[in-house]
Amino acid sequence: MLITSLENQKIKKYLKLKNKKYRDLDKLYLIEGYHLVKEALDSNLLIDLFILENANINFNFPYTFVTKEIMKKLSSLETIPDIIGVCKMKDEEKIRGNKILLLDDIQDPGNLGTIIRSSLAFNIDTIVLSLKTVDLYNEKVIRSTQGMLFKINILRKDLKEVISDLKKNDYLILGTNVINGEDVRSIKTDKFALIMGNEGKGVDLELQELCDKNLYIQMNKDCESLNVSVATSILLYELSRK
């Protein structure tokens, strides 16, 4: 089947998913390109699929061909993809596992996506996004995760409440601070929650006070700080090596 009209009901519905309001309402979002669609299918999250007419793609999932005009409207990329999928959001689960990452108001979509990708690499069990962290289903976030968002437990919650619960359950709450901090390489813990903060402001002061320990990454003193996705990745890398 080939859809040629932008007035098609399905297409009209899915075009709205470019807007966060409708993503949240329908619990659906769009993903672009073969790699992401493949990962979503493998994770049983794919619910609909569109392929560019005449594209040489074979996919083991029911799909509909669409014209270049429709693909262009659905896409948020400059170069139109051959394939676009519609995914359902996962039901929010509870915090599980012993290795938790708390993200306090991360604003840049690329940073959030990259952090999610690294979290899978370094064995994080649950990521909790603060209420003001950038939307998980923003197209740039999804692209930067390289599909790893399908494979990891991600919630959105008030971090103060979360930390209070975690403390009752004996998680070591880890912050980042050079002053009074310890070199991350010297920390040994199997049950922790690491808090990372906003690109400009860092971690909220109230949350900082709830930390049991502060970590730092040994580096050249001429460099004030690292990009937050890099700093998070190095800390998780070190914590995964215990």
List residues near a second copy by CB under 8 A: 110, 114, 117-118, 120-123, 144, 146, 148, 151, 185, 217-220, 222-227, 229-230, 233-234, 237, 240-241
Nearest residue (CB) to a second copy, 2 versus 121: 121
- What is the rounded distance in angstroms from the CA atom of residue 71 to the CA atom of residue 6? 10
> Which three-class secondary structure state does DSSP give residue 144?
helix
Q: How far is the CB of 7 from a second copy (least distance, A)?
A: 33
Choice between 120 and 162, CB closer to a second copy: 120
**Minimum gap (Å) between residue 144 Cβ and a second copy:** 7
Shortest CA distance to 198 belongs to which of 108, 105, 63, 123?
A: 105
User: Residue for token digits 């009074």?
Assistant: 180
CB 149 within 8 A of CB 126: no
Q: Which is nearer to a second copy, 138 or 144 (CB)?
A: 144
Q: d(Cα 59, Cα 184) in Å, to the nearest integer?
A: 45
Of residues 103, 99, 125, 100, the one with CA closest to residue 113 = 103
Q: Smallest gap, in angstroms, from Cβ of residue 223 to a second copy? A: 4
Query: Considering the complex, what minimum distance in angstroms separates the CB of residue 151 from a second copy?
Result: 6
CB closer to a second copy out of 114 and 133: 114
